[in-house]
Amino acid sequence: MSRAEVPDQKMARVPIPRGARRRREIAWAAEQVFLQHGFADTTMQMVALEAGASKETLYRHFGSKEDLFLEVVNNRNNKVRQILDAELESDRPIPIILRSVGISLLECMCSPTVAALARIIVNETPRYPALGDAFYAMAPGRTLQKLTRYLTDAKARGEFVGDAPELAAEIYTGSVMGKFITLMLFTPHTFAIDREQIEAHVDEVVRTFSRSYIVQRQNRSSGRNFSHI
């Protein structure tokens, strides 16, 4: 197995085409190089050496170093994106959906690797503004767009009582991220958060948000009230 192979590749249930598998291997190798050297000091030659590939192969899969870095970030956000899409398309009670989405967002953003990549983006955006724009579009911007659409649909069903779904989506995601993003970015040497803390924080955010915006309803099958989790 290549040293650049994605760790969970053996667990894949669906065979991955060779070209796509090689692309993932290169992206995994690139992540290690970017984390060690940052964006500006990483070269495509360094990634090629780590991946055991030629620069030509890298450029065939990725048009530029910027595209390669964004692929790395996109891969790290893939799990939370899948959870977000699945939850917002389900018919579960809104507080339950918001809880799942909130926990997934906070776990993703506070993971050591994603936190390190986020610090790279913050550091490099003044010199490479396209990185910040692209990251916002693929992660925070996409989440806000999806959640806004979900709350808009909930309003049409009479389950969301706010006048501004987009503002409510911003309030919810901002409350979930809260102080943790600041701590993660500026005090990584002392920052730590565990699953229990994440759940407690998100539960309180969902309770507060639900009291202001969500029409309480009974679970059709059990009669359970979701006024609190």
How far is 46 from 171, CA to CA, in rounded Å?
A: 42
Calculate the alpha carbon distances from 108 to 113, 139, 160, 177, 181 in Å.
9, 11, 27, 11, 11
**At which residue do the structure tokens 């192979």 appear?**
5
Domains assigned to the chain: 7-61 (1.10.10.60), 65-213 (1.10.357.10)
Q: Is the pTM of this model over 0.95?
A: no
Q: Which residues contact 4 (CB under 8 A, 6 or more apart)?
A: 25, 26, 28, 29, 32, 50, 51, 52
Give the dihedral sign, CA 222/226/227/229: positive
How confident is the model at residue 192, as a pLDDT? 84
How confident is the model at residue 140, as a pLDDT? 92
How far is 140 from 135, CA to CA, in rounded Å?
A: 8
Mean pLDDT, each 10-residue run in order, the chain (229 residues): 40 55 93 95 96 93 94 91 93 96 92 90 92 91 96 96 96 93 84 91 97 74 41
How confident is the model at residue 9, as a pLDDT? 42
How confident is the model at residue 186, as a pLDDT? 84
SS3 percent helix, strand, coil of the chain, rounded to 5, is 70, 0, 30
